[in-house]
Amino acid sequence: MDSFSITGTPKTPSIRFDPLAGALEISGRSTPEDPIEFYRPLLEALSKLCVTSSPRCDVTIAFEYFSTSSSRCIYNVFKKLEIYSKSGGNVVVNWLYEEDDDEFLEVGEDFQAIIEVPFKMVPVKK
């Protein structure tokens, strides 16, 4: 399975996914016109991750902002990671948030409460 990346824009996040290295990074803003279409390649790649022999996937999430319509797609990304985890993969989600942004910390904690993979809340300085 090949790695891929998507360069971020003012409306879309940067995505770097290397299944052989077991690394997924998503960062930036997510307000695409069609979030389902934007996240489709990542969701398809994560589905394939479940049938590869990759032992782990270290995930780093560093959103500046995401729209309500993007949140459903982000949830779907986490659900794919949950399936991978339940099939024996080792997943850890590092949820980065600005140390004084309690609202974004709470969003990460909300995802953590409904997704069965380990989350680490990681405060970062501005």
pLDDT digits (tens, 9 = 90+) for 69-90: 999 999 999 999 999 999 888 9
Cα dihedral 10, 2, 39, 43, rounded to 10, equals: -160
pLDDT at 56: 85
pTM of the model: 0.93
pLDDT greater than 60 at residue 115: yes
pLDDT at 7: 97
pLDDT digits (tens, 9 = 90+) for 90-102: 999 999 999 999 9
- Exposure string (b/e) for 64-93, b if CB count within 10 Å is 16 or more? eebeeebbebbebbbbbbbbbbeeebebbb
In order of their start, the domains of the chain are 4-124 (3.30.750.24)
pLDDT at 52: 59
pLDDT greater than 70 at residue 64: yes
pLDDT greater than 80 at residue 62: yes
Instruction: Let me know: does 38 contact 72? Beta carbons within 8 Å.
Output: no
